[in-house]
Amino acid sequence: MNEVFFTDMHAKYGNSIENKLKKLLRKANLKSFIGKKELVALKVHVGERGNTGFLSHNFARVIVEEVKNAGGNPYITDTNTLYSGGRHNGVDHVVTAVQHGYSYASVGAPFIPADGIRGLDYIPVKIEGKHFKEAKLAAGIVKADKIIFLTHFKAHIEAGIGGTIKNLSMGCASIAGKQEQHSTSKPEIKEKNCTGCRQCYWACPEGAITMVDKKAVINYELCIGCGQCVAACNYEAMQAKWDSENRVYLEKVCEYAVAAARYLKDKALYLNFAINITPDCDCWPASDVPIVEDVGIFGSYSPLSLERATLEMVSKSRANERSSFKDKIMNGPNVFQEIREHIPSDRLLEYSRELGLEDEYRLIFVK
C-alpha cells in the first residue's frame, strides 16, 4: 500500500509550517531519493498575472534548500500556456515568475521554462489510451534526473479538481499537448442569459468572442477551449459543454497524466498543498475567496494515492463562511463535485485507475 505523508496547518514557536514541510520531506527520505549532482526540477505554477492564490515561493525555497542539502542541483520550472497571457512564452513566463517571488534571489534556484522560449521543446511519450497514442511532454521536465511536483490543490473551472493529476497532464504538456487536450472542450452561449456585459469579450485570450446586437458570439475557429470566458461570466450565459465532450476532455487529461507518471516512474515525488483552496485555477487572473478551510501538506511517490488522500480530507474540511459556494458544500466525498455538479470530476480518479495508476494509501501523519 502506498504511503502518503501528511502534516496539518497547526504551527507553534519552534515548529513552523516551513519546519513541518522539512520534516515531511525527510520522512519521505528525500536525501536518499536525490543523487549527488542530479538536476532536480521543481514543477510549480507561478500564477497568472493578477492571481494571488498561487503557491507561495517560500515553500519552493524550503524544498530547494533540502534538495541542495541532499546534493542535488535544483531548478524551478513550468510549461508555457496555450492562451496568450503572462506566461505564453518563455520570456514573459520568467518575468511573471520573478514578479510572483520565484526569482533566484528568493528561492535559491533559477526559473527555466520547461518547453523553451516558444513552448515548442517537447518529447513524445507513448500512452495506450482511447484518445492518444503519445503525449507531447515538455523536454525540461522529462529530461530532469528527478522531479518534485509542488501542486496547489484547488478547484478548476473545467477539470473540477486542480490537483496533481492536472499538474501531471496540462502542467507537463507543451503548448501543442495542451491544445490536444483542450480540443473537444469548448463553451457554448445561453443567449437568453447574456446581458452584453462584455466580461467574456475582455477575458478571451484569443479574440474569439465578438458582440453582435449586444450579445456574445463565439468564433470556434479561434476558440482554444481554455474556459476563461466561462469563469468570467456572472450570468451563466457562457457554459462549457458538460456532456460527452467534457468526459472526453477529462479522459484526455488522465491519459496525459498517466503518460507522464509512467515515464517518470521512480524519478518523481509529488506534493499537494491543500492551502488557500480557491474555486478557480491559478491560471485565472484573479483569486476568489477559498471554498473551505486550509487542510495541510501531502506528499507521496504515488500520484493517484496522493490525489485520493488529499481529496478525501479536503472534502471533509469546513466550508469557508465567506465563500461564494458556501451553500453548496455538504462535506460529501467530492467537494469539487458539489460546487460544480455539472463537472463529472470523479472521472479523473476513476479513469486514472482504469489506466493502471494505484490509489490505495496509508496516511502517515508528520507532526
166 grid coordinates: 492536472
Torsion, Cα of 339, 320, 231, 88 (10° steps) = -120
| Three-class SS state of 296 | strand
Residue type, 237: A
CB atoms < 10 A from the CB of 360, how many?
A: 11
d(CA 231, CA 239): 9
Question: In sequence order, what are the beta bridge partners of 136?
Answer: 124
Q: Which residue has the cell 496540462?
A: 170
Reported as a single tens digit per residue, the pLDDT across 319-350 is 999 999 999 999 999 999 999 998 999 999 99
In this predicted structure, the answer to whether residue 310 has a pLDDT above a threshold of 80 is yes
d(CA 109, CA 60): 9
Topology (CATH level 3) of domain 187-240: Alpha-Beta Plaits (3.30.70)
Domain 2-183+242-365 has CATH 3.40.50.11440: yes
Nearest to 60 by CA among 166, 47, 210, 248: 47
d(CA 276, CA 292): 8
- Cα dihedral 111, 147, 5, 283 sign: positive
In this predicted structure, the answer to whether residue 243 has a pLDDT above a threshold of 70 is no
Q: How far is CA 230 from CA 209, 325, 355, in A?
A: 12, 16, 30
- Global pTM reads 0.88
> Which residues, 6+ apart, have CB-to-CB distance to 260 below 8 Å?
125, 135, 137, 141, 142, 168, 169, 172
User: What is the mean pLDDT of the segment spanning 359-365?
Assistant: 98
Nearest to 350 by CA among 342, 341, 362, 359: 359
Report the Cα–Cα distance between both ends of the chain, in Å, rounded: 22
Reported as a single tens digit per residue, the pLDDT across 43-96 is 999 999 999 999 999 999 999 999 999 999 999 999 999 877 899 899 999 999
In this predicted structure, the answer to whether residue 183 has a pLDDT above a threshold of 80 is no
Domain boundaries, given as residue ranges, for the chain: 2-183+242-365, 187-240
Q: Which residue has the cell 493529476?
A: 165
d(CA 360, CA 300): 12
DSSP 149-179: EEEE-EEETTTEEESHHHHHHTTTB-HHHHH
Per the rule left: phi > 0, alpha: psi between -120 and 50, beta: everything else, 198 is left
d(CA 165, CA 168): 5
Q: How many CA atoms lie within 13 A of 264 on its CB side?
A: 32
In this predicted structure, the answer to whether residue 241 has a pLDDT above a threshold of 70 is no
Question: What average pLDDT does the structure give for the chain?
Answer: 94
Reported as a single tens digit per residue, the pLDDT across 113-161 is 999 998 889 999 999 999 999 999 999 999 999 999 999 999 998 899 9
| Whole-number pLDDT of residue 235 | 87
- Cα dihedral 24, 13, 293, 157 sign: negative
